[in-house]
Amino acid sequence: MTPRSNPGPRRVLVLSAATASMVIAAGIAAVGTAEAASTLGASAAQTGRYFGAAIAAGRLGDSTYTRILTTEFNSVTPENEMKWDATEPSQGNFTYGNGDRILNQGNAMGAKVRGHALLWHAQQPGWAQGMSGTALRNAAINHVTQVATHYRGKIYAWDVVNEAFADGGGGGRRDSNLQRTGNDWIEAAFRAARAADPAAKLCYNDYNTDGVNAKSTGIYNMVRDFKSRGVPIDCVGFQSHLGTGIDSTYQANLQRFADLGVDVQITELDVQQGGNQANIYSTVTKACLAVTRCTGITVWGIRDTDSWRSDNPLLFDGSGNKKAAYTSVLNALNAGGTMPPTTSPPSSGGCTASVSLNAWTGGYVATVRVTAGSTAVNGWTVAVSLPSGSAVTNAWSATNAGTTGTVNFRNVDYNGQLAAGGTTEFGFQGTGPGPSAAPVCRVG
C-alpha cells in the first residue's frame, strides 16, 4: 500500500489561515531549494524535523559537551533521568531533580524534550522489581500518571512503553513482571498517559525493529489494533542501535508504520564504527527524510566517550571533533526530503495561527501556534471554528470564550506580548471531531 492510497483517517492536520492548502500540499513536496545549514538541528528544521541527542545531567558541566549540544541539537532525551528507578526510588516518593535538569536544559535551548521512558522491564526500582499482579499494575499506572502529570505540557513525545516485545522469531511480547499483570498493560499505560498529559505525543519504543522482521511485525500488529480500537498512540520509536550493516527494508518498515496513521521517530541512533559507519548514518537519515511522518532523529549520546557502547558509535570523537559520520548526516539533511506537517511562516503585520491536531476516536488535542508578523504584538485572539458535535473541554496557556461553534481564545498575561516574528503556543482539548478549518489570528 502506498502512502497516498492509505484510506485511514488523517490523524495530524496542520491548518493555517493563509496557507492551509499549501501546508497540506507541502506534505508531499520535496524540499530541494533550502540553503545548506551548518548544524544538524538547523538542517533538520528545514524540513520541519528535529535532530536530537540523548543527554546526561551529570555531563552538563562539561563545556565541550554543552557547546556541541547547544550548537548542534534541537531536541534532547534524558538518557536515564526520567526512568522509573530515577523518578520513583521508593514507592510513592517521586524525585525529579535530574529529570528537571534535562527539561530545563532543553527549554533553555528552545529544544523539544522527548520523555524516556515511563514503563520498561529494565531499570525498575527494587521495590517494583519485587512486585506482581494487581499491586504491580496499580503501581505502574500510578507511576505513569504521576510522572506524566509532573511534566504535563512540557514533553513533546513520551516513550510510554519501552521494549515490551521479545527478540527472536515469534513476534510476541517479552516476558516481564509487567507483562505478567496481563496483556492489556500497554494500552492501560497509554490511556493513563493521555489522561495525564493530553498534549504529549505518546510513543511505543523498541530496538531490533530496524527492518521488516518478526519483532517489528508484532509491534505493527499491536499499533494497528490500538488504532482500530481507539487506544491513544501517536508515534513509534525505532531505537536503531546498529552494527556494521543496515536492513534493506529499513525505510519501508518506517513507512508501513506511518501508513497506520502514527508518526515515526528514530530514537536512539548509534552505529558501530569501522566499515560503513558514515554510510549507515546517511542511509538512516535519508530514510527518515523520505517518510513524511518521520518527525525526527535522536542519536544516543554526543561524543564516542559519552556512549553506553565501546565501539565509537557516535558523530563526535572523544575530543569533540566532527567525524565523517557527522558530515554524512549533515549532507543528507541538507539534501532535503519530504516535509511533515508544520507551521507556516508569518505574514507581514498582524499575526497568524496554525493548529496541529492529535485526534482519536471521540476526542482530540489541538496545539495552536501563534506567530507575530513583522511588528511586535501586544495581545492576541485566535478564533477557531469547531464543527458540529465538537466542544472544548479545557484549554491551557489561553482562555476561551465559549466551547462550541466559533471559539475565541485569548492570550493569558504571560504570553500576550510577542516580538516581531515571535511565537507562542497554546492548546485545548475537546470531544467530538477536531477543527477542520484554519484558525484566524487577530491582534488585540
Just list the catalytic residues: 163, 268
Rounded to a whole number of angstroms, the minimum distance from the CB of residue 417 to ligand 9MR is: 40
Distance from the Cα of residue 329 to its chain's centroid: 20
122 binds ligand 9MR (CB under 6 A): yes
Rank residues 211 and 433 by Cβ distance to ligand 9MR and give the closer one: 211
Which residues, in sequence order, are bridge partners of residue 205?
162, 237
Residues between 36 and 65 that touch ligand 9MR (CB under 6 A): none
Dihedral over alpha carbons 255, 260, 266, 271 (to 10 degrees): -50
79 binds ligand 9MR (CB under 6 A): yes
Rank residues 26 and 157 by Cβ distance to ligand 9MR and give the closer one: 157
Q: How many whole angstroms separate alpha carbon 399 and alpha carbon 12?
A: 24
Q: How many whole angstroms separate alpha carbon 223 and alpha carbon 170?
A: 17
End-to-end CA distance of the chain: 48
87 binds ligand 9MR (CB under 6 A): no
DSSP H/E element including 395: strand 391-396
* Sole binder of ligand 9MR in the list 16, 75, 80, 146 (CB under 6 A): 80
Collapsed DSSP state (helix, strand, coil) of residue 212: coil
Binding mask of the shown chain, residues 195 to 214, with x at each position contacting ligand 9MR by CB under 6 A = ------------x-------
176 binds ligand 9MR (CB under 6 A): no
Q: With CB under 6 A, what is the number of residues at the site for ligand 9MR?
A: 9
Residue 262 phi, psi dihedral angles, 5° rounding: -120, 155
Taking CB atoms, the residue at the shortest distance from ligand 9MR is 308
Which residues, in sequence order, are bridge partners of residue 241?
270
Rank residues 250 and 364 by Cβ distance to ligand 9MR and give the closer one: 250
* Sole binder of ligand 9MR in the list 268, 304, 306, 425 (CB under 6 A): 268
123 binds ligand 9MR (CB under 6 A): yes
Rounded to a whole number of angstroms, the minimum distance from the CB of residue 178 to ligand 9MR is: 15
259 binds ligand 9MR (CB under 6 A): no
Question: Is the backbone of residue 402 left (phi > 0), alpha (psi -120 to 50) or beta?
Answer: left
E strands along 56-95, which residues? Answer: 75-78
Burial of 279 (0-12, 13-18, 19+ CB in 10 A): middle
* Sole binder of ligand 9MR in the list 239, 283, 356, 367 (CB under 6 A): 239
Closest C-alpha among 52, 49, 19, 47 to residue 34 = 47
308 binds ligand 9MR (CB under 6 A): yes
Rank residues 259 and 268 by Cβ distance to ligand 9MR and give the closer one: 268
Collapsed DSSP state (helix, strand, coil) of residue 75: strand
Which residues of the shown chain bind ligand 9MR in the complex (CB under 6 A)? Answer: 79-80, 122-123, 162, 207, 239, 268, 308
